[in-house]
Amino acid sequence: MTLLQLNAVGHVFLGRAVLEDASLRVEHGEMVALVGPSGCGKSTLSQIAAGLIIPRHGQVTRGYDRSAFVFQEPRLLPWATVEANVALGLSGHALSRAQQSARIADACRRVSLEESDWHKFPSQLSGGMRQRTALARALVGDPDFLYFDEPFTALDAALRRRMQDLVVTTVLNSGKGGLFITHDIHEALRICHRIAVLDRYGHGILDCVAVPEMPETRSDEMVFEMARRLVCDHPLFAVVDEHDERRLA
Ligand SMILES: Nc1ncnc2c1ncn2[C@@H]1O[C@H](COP(=O)(O)OP(=O)(O)OP(=O)(O)O)[C@@H](O)[C@H]1O
């Protein structure tokens, strides 16, 4: 069964159409990147897919049991420690206290959070550590489907690569799936199987580009060469490039 299917989804904010007719499928073991100019409706579409926004029209069919969302900002509880924040990802799981502690420790280690930081509060963490705590909170419940909305922009280059690799190994190699919003074509090419490009007027998805090879087998050279070809030669990506407000700023 398809993990996620969006059929002719549309939405309106304050009387203004944000998405008109967006359709997309995500299969088991597949990560799909959502790219497009700033304000074209990527976050709205992923939040509709996740059930956080009810669309004005269209159908959403979810073939997964559990999902988690990683936002651009970590959205941690300020009064709770790293461990307690990560534990929120286990709500609804029937686990003993020892099992919970083991799962939390494992999730923290996977995102490279040192044990000495697990008792700290968000105000005592760097921006990157806060974001890794949010990622651990998403992974700890072992979701079948993950939504990422520009999750790694606060991380330095080396850590961003490690977290991208973590997404590839934990999410994709076990038949899970996801949607990954990014403005970074290299990031999309490192992690995703397909790249869906949204129309700059917010009508929906213009088209999808399949990325050759499996993510784990793509070398840096391949990623750079593919990015160069997409940005320079592909008409879909010319639209993304020309109209991204942040690139023009
Ligand atoms: N809660 C809201 N109320 C009113 N308008 C909204 C709301 N959320 C989003 N919008 C508008 O909907 C449009 C699409 O926003 P959305 O955040 O989905 O775009 P995006 O492609 O994710 O942008 P970015 O790349 O800049 O994050 C924008 O014009 C935005 O101003």
DSSP 155: S
37 lines ligand 1 (CB under 6 A): no
Residue 226's H or E segment, with its range, is helix 220-233
* CATH 3.40.50.300, the chain: domain bounds: 4-65+144-248
Ligand 1 centroid, distance to 244 Cα (angstroms): 13
Ligand 1 centroid, distance to 64 Cα (angstroms): 26
| ipTM, interface predicted TM-score of the complex | 0.96
CATH class of 4-65+144-248: alpha beta
Ligand 1 centroid, distance to 94 Cα (angstroms): 37
Q: Measured between alpha carbons, how far is residue 31 from residues 21, 28, 34, 56, 171 in Å?
A: 21, 9, 10, 26, 8
pLDDT of residue 173: 67
Token readout for 203 is 């009508």
Taking a C-beta distance cutoff of 8 angstroms, is the pair 144, 177 a contact? yes
Least confident of 14-23, 70-79, 133-142, 166-175: 166-175
Instruction: Return d(Cα 34, Cα 181) in angstroms, integer.
Output: 5
Shortest-distance Cα residue to atom 10 of ligand 1: 13
43 lines ligand 1 (CB under 6 A): yes
Instruction: Return d(Cα 177, Cα 125) in angstroms, integer.
Output: 30
pLDDT tens digits for range 146-195: 999 999 987 888 889 988 988 888 776 678 899 999 999 999 999 999 99
pLDDT tens digits for range 7-19: 999 999 988 888 9
19 lines ligand 1 (CB under 6 A): no
Mutate to test the pocket of ligand 1, among 12, 44, 46, 184 (most ligand atoms within 8 A of CB): 44
